[in-house]
Structure 1
Amino acid sequence: MRSTALPLLLAAMLGCAGCGLRPMYAGGGSGQVATSLSAVQVAAIPEKNGWLMRNALVDRLGGEPSAAQYRLDVELDDDLSGLGIRGDSAVTRERRTLRARYQLVDLKSGLVVLDATAGSDAGIDVVSSEYATVAAENSAQERLTTVVADQIVSRLGLFMSHPRR
């Protein structure tokens, strides 16, 4: 069994060598993707969700750029709806959904070079303590913000990894 595993492993490695795959973040902090992402300025986003999202994006993009080449405009849609309803019409479960439409604008030309969406949702148990329910809603809001920010930055990285869009 061992004698057949080594040749198969070598064949697989040789097959991958010519497939054209390359790491997105090749070169680390000085690579093409990292330097392009660090040149993205995140525009202000209104309300608490916007503040959370902007901070998460700025953190993931490497901070505020000194010389921005792009501006990221984000519009958020946050929805909280009741799912589980008891016989007395009391909600027992909620669903929080966060969707983001974002546009990457080239500051030199003013053109939108990327227009996309990202989103996620979370379930929340509604308990007898109103404080606990509000805390769970806020926690879900913070979690969803980080998930959606990760999706946006991943998509931006993929966009930046191609030589010319």
Structure 2
Amino acid sequence: MRASALLLLALALSACGLQPMYAGGSSGQVGQGLAAVDVPAIEGRAGWLMRNALTDRLGVAGDASPRYRLDVRLDDQLEGLGVLSDDSISRERRILRARYQLVDLANGEILLDRTAGSDAGIDVVSSEYATIAAEERALENLAEEVAGRIVTQVSLALRDRQ
């Protein structure tokens, strides 16, 4: 009875239609598609961080000739949240939003047009240096997180296209 239950479970799982997205690793369809995505320069420090994070994630399959272009526009905001009785700010929030488009270079078709974003809280302390360092570290972390979200969506778009 137990064996038949395991057999039914195995059959049900094989019929669910789930497939690994990165099947074949860097030589698979999605891996090769990601390696063929070119990311042009993005304006500003946040853009530099974002482009580096994206190229680190996209270039895992080696050097392929570009078939796609990923255009990214960033909105980086820093706003004060916690205001003390002396009108000083005790907490900040850094928000990084990205609007991105995946463009097929062969025909100029936009394959993906989306936004991704995240935010982080920052404590404002008495040391201005420590606060600036925390703001910069938050930007670095946000760029990595948003880049991960973008690459996931690009991977899904490329998988569906192929």
TM-score (norm 1): 0.92
- Which secondary structure state, in structure 2, belongs to the residue aligned with residue 93 of structure 1? strand
Partners of 1:14 and 1:73 lie apart in 2 by 43
1:60 alignment partner, one of 57, 61, 70: 57
SS at match of 2:125: coil
Match of 2:15 among 10, 15, 18: 18
Match runs of 1:71-150 below 5 Å: 71-150=69-148
| Rounded Cα–Cα distance in structure 2 between residues aligned with 1:41 and 1:65 | 11
Structure 1 residue 129: Cα displacement: 0.3
2:42 maps to a residue whose letter is I
Inter-partner Cα distance in structure 2 for 1:10 and 1:129: 63
Instruction: Tell me by how many angstroms 1:10 deviates.
Output: 4.0
Shift of residue 13 of structure 1?
2.5
State how many pairs are aligned. Answer: 161
Structure 1 Cα separation of the partners of residues 107 and 77 of structure 2:
35
Residue 43 (structure 1) shift: 1.1
Gaps of at least 5 residues in structure 1 are none
Displacement of 1:113 in angstroms is 1.2
For 1:128, what is the secondary structure of its paired residue? coil
> 1:91 touches 1:126 (CA, 8 Å); kept in 2?
yes
Give the ranges of 4+ consecutive aligned residues of structure 1 lying more than 6 Å apart after TM superposition: none
Cα RMSD after superposing both structures: 1.6
Q: Is 66-75 or 7-16 further displaced after alignment?
A: 7-16
Q: How far did 1:81 drift? A: 0.5
**Structure 2 unaligned spans of 5+:** none
Could you say which residue in structure 2 is the equivalent of 1:50? 47
Any conservation in 2 of the 1:94–1:123 contact (CA below 8 Å)? Answer: yes
Q: Alpha-carbon deviation of 1:34?
A: 0.2
